[in-house]
Amino acid sequence: MAYRWETSDSVWLEDERKRQFELAQSRGISRIEWQAHARGRLPDVAQLLGASLPACGHGDIYPEGFVYCPECGAPLAMHGGGDRLPPWWGPSTAPLPADAYPLPKYLPLGLPLTAQPLAATLETRKPEPEVGAPDEKMAAPPNAVCVFAAGHFGYAAQRLLALAYTRNVLQYWDPLARRWHLMAAEEQTADLSFTASAYAWLPAVAGQRGEVGIVPGAHGLARLIVNPVNESYRTETVLSAPLASAPGMAAGRIACLLATPAGVRLWTANAEGADGETLDIAAVAVHAGAMAAGDIPDPDEDATESAATPVATHVPIPAAGWSRPVCYDGKLVWLHELGEIWWRPGSAPQWLPWPSGWTPRLQFGGPVRSRDGRLWLIGHDGQRYSYRELGAVRAQIQPLDGARLGFCTLLFRRGHQVKDEPWAVENVEDQGGADELVLPLLENASSTREQPTGLVLRVEAYSGKAEAALQEAVLPRVLIEWVGQRNVILDEAVRLKQPADCQPFVYDNCLWLHHPSWNDVRGWRLEPQS
């Protein structure tokens, strides 16, 4: 016979003879295989459910709310009452709730930006030139090419997920056992692999328990729901159609590009994935010649006429190879080697191919923001680099004297930071920076700082092209550096290849950095240093 214990979220069964508890039901959990999965991970499960653990040995686990051992009266270790840590999603166009450090409204969403107060603690460490070391390390996920999400997902403790989107594998980090678990797919689960374009997902703000968010997959969009107690996950179909891009969100509407037999179309629905519709994408003729950003347009000139030669609008819209979407000023933009697609909810999406001869450098970081609020993208016309205004038929061009790496406002030319307009002269503080190359990884947005701050990689003694450094070159020594009011070298890496694959994320009050070629993920505690 078993006694039944009910808590606010769960139902437990107590064996009358053994006096042991077993979880029978819990809110939002589709199935529970206690003996096969959860029993071997009792410390982890107790934290997830907010249950209690004994130190006396009379039992293995007790339901939520138990304070003392029923046998001997010894105090139990209770879980679930600690401070809630902010979630982490990486670049996403979905707005975050007020308690998750949302970005200021004047900044674009979908770029590697965070408003979490990282600088306040990282800049208390010893400044350069001293080279620091990680405070923490965790084993790299078995499937190392992945994206990370950290959150409570409706449970009592924060947990870390690593989705290997090229292999259809979802991985779960057990912080107490310090090992990764491969989560099993439940019946009729969607294929989570997505390789058509750059990966991005839409986090769930206040969904059902275990809900991670809306994710792209091999056959469309799905709502991902995890069951960490049972080490499994399931999906709910949002859209069944071949995708050309990852999803984005603007003005409460989700959208993505579809690869249909008739060509690429844009699908959109409300935030829940309902009321969907498919829109044709209008091709727009852009102009190869454009005035510089400082020029003043002629007010008498007809906007539909120009001496410049328009680019042909018959350039087909590609069905793959799109960047992560970016949301800015109420609009979504997807970037490609051949052009850009802009869409504002309520209007027709537009396809603007790049002018002939101008090739974007998407690998340099992403769109940058000028002081007047416009977005620009760096590219090359065969003779020189330049910034091209995004989302404009008569786009303005700003010529550059060399490659610039970065996104939003965190920009570098070689080893020197650009602190004014994206095309302004770099700020030279050390002449040695001319022999370095800096690649920004994460910008720390703050309304209290005038100059951009963030995490970068500094490649020492490098005089080659930026394109080579980001692709085939083996970089002998790279510094992992925090750039701000006080520059701090957090660590160094040797013989690094493809540095843009480095992925920062925040989990368990720690800033982590992952690269697919590393055996360990490196972490730095977000705590003031003496």
pTM of the model: 0.93
CA dist list (Å): 35 to 24, 30, 41, 186, 361: 11, 16, 10, 18, 53
φ, ψ of residue 40 in degrees (nearest 5) = -80, 0
Q: For the chain, give me the number of helices (H) and strands (E)?
A: 3, 40
- Cβ neighbours around 30 below 10 Å, total: 13
At a CB cut-off of 8 Å and minimum separation 6, what does 278 contact?
258, 260, 265, 266, 267
The yes-or-no verdict on residue 5 having pLDDT over 60 is yes
pLDDT of residue 296: 36
pLDDT digits (tens, 9 = 90+) for 173-215: 999 999 999 999 998 899 999 999 999 999 997 778 999 999 9
**Beta strand ranges found along 381-509 (DSSP E):** 385-389, 397-399, 405-408, 410-413, 416-418, 437-444, 454-459, 474-483, 488-497, 503-506
**Nearest-angstrom CA–CA distance, 143 and 164:** 6
pLDDT of residue 307: 39
Rounded distance between C-alpha atoms, residue 31 and residue 458, angstroms? 48
408 near 108, Cβ under 8 Å? yes
- In angstroms, rounded to a whole number, what is the distance separating the alpha carbons of residues 472 and 119? 32
Are the CB atoms for 366 and 111 separated by under 8 Å? yes
Alpha carbons 419 and 441: distance in angstroms, whole number: 17
Tell me the C-alpha distance between 127 and 112, whole Å.
24
Specify whether the CB–CB gap between 14 and 3 falls below 8 A.
Answer: yes
Q: How confident is the model at residue 387 (pLDDT cuts 50, 70, 90)?
A: very high
Whose tokens are 């629905």? That residue is 269
Contact assessment for residue 5 and residue 21, using Cβ atoms and an 8 Å cutoff: yes
Which pLDDT score is estimated for 258?
98
In angstroms, rounded to a whole number, what is the distance separating the alpha carbons of residues 90 and 109? 10
pLDDT in tens, 337-382: 999 999 999 999 999 999 999 999 999 999 999 999 999 999 999 9
The pLDDT of 60-77, averaged and rounded, is 86
Q: Does the pLDDT value for residue 231 go beyond 50?
A: yes
pLDDT at 299 over 80: no
Residue pLDDT, tens place only, 420-478: 999 999 988 776 667 899 999 999 998 888 899 999 999 999 989 999 999 989 999 99
Answer yes or no: is pLDDT of 309 > 70. Answer: no
Span between the terminal Cα atoms of the chain, in Å: 57
- Beta bridge mates, 268: 255, 277
